[in-house]
Amino acid sequence: MKKSEKGFTLVELLVVIAILGILMVALVPNILGAITKSQMQTMAKQGADIVNAINIEVKKSLWPRAEAAAGGSDSEEDIYTKAYTSSTEYFKDLFDIENQTSGEHDPFIDVKIECLWGNGVDKASPGQLTRDNVAWTILAGAKEVSLGGVPVLVTRNADTAQFPVSGQNDMSSKKDKINLEKFSTPFGKKGCIVVTKDGAALSLPARECRLCDIYDKAPSVNIPTSAKLKYIEP
């Protein structure tokens, strides 16, 4: 007597495929969200490392200037006297990229160069650093800002033109959403990283990228009208 072999019917296969499709729709966004959150936390740590290392220098401020120092500059101390037009040029000096592949390499801070890129921002080749390798916009003139809650380092996808740079501003009521399309990387519309002058790193999803969220711990920002501050992009 022959044994009958029964497989899945077409209807059963379609039901299984439909169930798998539903599971994928439900799970994929959560998985991608977890990945993005992890990437943002990593970059937040990198940004905090940069800011804290810059803050350690007390003899001479390593923060980029908004205006060049009077009296010109010394070739060995340009970083203390020069006004930078891009964060790329500033980071070139800060990390001594020119001498990176030589025995004379002497960066100003003890931080890994990898802190400059991440999540879609290209890794730089040794001895080189271009705009494509820098994930950050930095505040020039931050030496003059005493308030710790002022953002000094921001992922380049966020439009820092919306951040106050002069005068006293009550930010607690500012619900303005930050434009997250200045650059498509590192996080595009998904969120941004903000590091304040005191080294606090905020990893903000898109829904929290409002001025009142960014200045949450320092809602009343007292920046003197005489201060010369500007955010310099890569």
Q: Read off the pLDDT band of 8 (50, 70, 90).
A: low
Residue 9, in any domain of the structure: no
Domain that holds residue 140: 37-232
Residue 10, in any domain of the structure: no
Residue 48, in any domain of the structure: yes
Percent of the chain with pLDDT over 90: 56
Residue 139, in any domain of the structure: yes
Question: pLDDT tens-digit profile of 68-111?
Answer: 877 655 455 678 889 999 999 999 999 999 999 998 999 999 99
Q: Which of 225, 171, 226, 174 is nearest to 196 (CA)?
A: 171
Residue 8, in any domain of the structure: no
Amino acid (1-letter code) at residue 190? K
Residue 25, in any domain of the structure: no
Stated as kind and residue range, the H or E segment containing 23 is helix 10-56
pLDDT at 3: 53
**What global pTM score does this model have?**
0.84
Question: pLDDT tens-digit profile of 163-175?
Answer: 988 877 788 888 9
38 vs 167: CA distance, rounded Å: 36
> Does the N-terminal peptide bond of residue 151 adopt cis geometry, omega within 30 degrees of 0?
no
Question: pLDDT tens-digit profile of 112-158?
Answer: 999 999 999 999 999 999 999 999 999 999 887 777 789 999 999 99
Residue 73, in any domain of the structure: yes
Residue 31, in any domain of the structure: no
What is the phi/psi pair of residue 138, to 5°?
-120, 150
Mean pLDDT of the chain: 87
Number of structural domains the chain divides into? 1
